[in-house]
């Protein structure tokens, strides 16, 4: 995709949390309660934004290097990565694409454009992504970039704004490997998951975490959603990418992150559950071919 030139800021519909007051504290941190022990009356819909990667400016890169101290090694060794997650990542990345909606100038995304992620769901080269990426692109052309760098103009098969899902299609020559979908109801709290996508334009990025909660009620824009909550790092550009379990099965579509005061990922992300994704995708593909 286009080389990003800055960290930018997450944008999109607000996630409404009834648990936070205007200064960003949870109700449990607030000393002022009424005699009945209820939460304070004034609660804020605090900052959380769909991870739409409409970013501009150049990525500020940094290299973290460890140095030995006077008496020993600089840092402890990282915990070993479970082998099943490595295998899941190897299976997933080839089926995940970067999505650019809207116009470009000089190879860079401009106003009225947005970038995100998507993934293949069948051998007909249908791709799942988030509708808010296309909405931010203003109905402009959609381009998909494959892991090997090839680009294809994508057909928009259909959109479902209420579920924040859209289906794209690329030519058969793309040859994308479809990702297996988890069985509805099989996801469990505490199981390890990977978020795969193109945060800040960095294609093929994999982050790890667990399923933090199921059936989390969140409101995105004007619509209420039941979401999978995860602490796998999700940032602008991850929107539309898959959340997969240790078997490499898609358990959800990464859609939103919670932030405090508009900052980046704080370890609370949300994905559209796979049962809703599959139902919506089947309906769209059935209508649009």
Question: Could you write out the three-class secondary structure of 108-151?
Answer: EECCCCEEEEEEECCCCCEEEECHHHHHHCCCCCEEEECCCCCE
- Mean pLDDT value of segment 53-71: 34
Q: What number of other Cβ atoms are within 10 A of residue 158's Cβ?
A: 19
Q: Could you give the number of structural domains in the chain?
A: 1
Domain hosting 156: range is 83-178
pLDDT given at position 105 = 42
pLDDT given at position 82 = 73
pLDDT in tens, 9-55: 334 343 444 443 444 333 323 333 344 444 433 333 333 333 333 33
pLDDT in tens, 244-256: 999 999 999 999 8
Q: Is residue 109 part of a domain?
A: yes
Tokens standing for residue 186: 């099989």
DSSP conformation class of 205: E
Q: Is residue 104 part of a domain?
A: yes
Q: Is residue 99 part of a domain?
A: yes
> Which region, left, alpha or beta, applies to residue 123 given φ > 0 means left and ψ of -120 to 50 means alpha?
alpha
Q: Is residue 87 part of a domain?
A: yes
pLDDT class for 221, splitting at 50, 70, 90? low
pLDDT class for 150, splitting at 50, 70, 90? very high
Name, of 21-30, 214-223, 232-241, the range with top average pLDDT.
Answer: 232-241
Closest CA to 166 of 118, 204, 103: 118
- Distance between CA atoms of 111 and 113, rounded to whole angstroms? 5
pLDDT given at position 17 = 41
- Mean pLDDT value of segment 253-280: 84
pLDDT given at position 13 = 41
pLDDT class for 170, splitting at 50, 70, 90? very high
Q: Regarding predicted confidence, which is higher, 96 or 9?
A: 96
Catalytic positions, please?
Answer: 132, 164, 239
Q: Is 35 exposed, middle or buried (0-12, 13-18, 19+ CB in 10 A)?
A: exposed
pLDDT at 186 over 50: yes
Name, of 44-58, 66-80, 90-104, 181-195, the range with top average pLDDT.
Answer: 181-195
Q: Is residue 134 part of a domain?
A: yes
Q: Determine which of 40-49, 70-79, 139-148, 229-238 has the lowest per-residue pLDDT on average.
A: 40-49
For residue 151, list its beta bridge partners: 145
- Distance between CA atoms of 15 and 78, rounded to whole angstroms? 33
pLDDT at 223 over 70: yes
pLDDT at 108 over 50: no
pLDDT given at position 241 = 95
Q: What is the CATH number of the domain that holds 96?
A: 2.40.10.10
- Mean pLDDT value of segment 104-111: 47
Tokens standing for residue 69: 């101290």
pLDDT given at position 74 = 41
pLDDT given at position 50 = 37
Tracing tokens 């995708």 back to the chain, one arrives at: 281
Q: Regarding predicted confidence, which is higher, 48 or 205?
A: 205
Q: Would you say the C-alpha torsion 276, 159, 257, 144 has a positive or negative sign?
A: positive
- Mean pLDDT value of segment 166-193: 94
Q: Is residue 17 part of a domain?
A: no
Q: Is residue 216 part of a domain?
A: no
Q: Let me know: does 118 contact 178? Beta carbons within 8 Å.
A: no
Q: Is residue 260 part of a domain?
A: no
pTM of the predicted structure, to 2 decimals: 0.71
Q: Let me know: does 151 contact 91? Beta carbons within 8 Å.
A: no
């Amino acid at each position: 995709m286009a080389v990003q030139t800055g960290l930018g800021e997450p944008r999109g519909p607000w996630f409404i949390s009834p648990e936070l007051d205007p200064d960003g504290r949870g109700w449990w941190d607030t000393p002022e309660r009424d005699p009945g022990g209820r939460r304070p009356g004034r609660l804020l819909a605090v900052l959380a934004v769909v991870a739409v990667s409409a970013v501009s400016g150049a990525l500020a890169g940094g290299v973290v290097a460890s140095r030995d101290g006077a008496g020993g090694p600089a840092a402890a060794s990282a915990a070993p990565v479970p082998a099943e997650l490595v295998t899941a990542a190897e299976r997933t990345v080839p089926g995940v694409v970067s999505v650019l909606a809207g116009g470009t100038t000089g190879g860079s995304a401009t106003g009225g454009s947005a970038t995100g992620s998507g993934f293949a769901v069948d051998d007909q080269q249908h791709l799942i992504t988030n509708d808010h990426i296309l909405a931010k692109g203003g109905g402009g052309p959609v381009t998909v970039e494959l892991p090997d760098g090839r680009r294809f103009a994508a057909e928009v098969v259909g959109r479902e704004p209420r579920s924040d899902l859209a289906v794209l299609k690329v030519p058969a020559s793309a040859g994308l490997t479809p990702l297996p979908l988890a069985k509805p109801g099989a996801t469990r709290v505490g199981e390890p998951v990977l978020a795969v996508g193109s945060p800040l334009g960095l294609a093929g990025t994999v982050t790890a975490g667990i399923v933090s909660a199921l059936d989390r009620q969140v409101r995105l824009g004007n619509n209420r959603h039941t979401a999978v909550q995860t602490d796998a790092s999700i940032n602008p550009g991850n929107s539309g990418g898959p959340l997969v379990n240790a078997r490499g099965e898609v358990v959800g579509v990464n859609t939103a992150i919670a932030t405090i005061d508009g900052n980046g990922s704080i370890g609370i992300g949300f994905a559209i559950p796979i049962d809703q994704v599959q139902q919506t995708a089947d309906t769209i593909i059935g209508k649009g071919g």
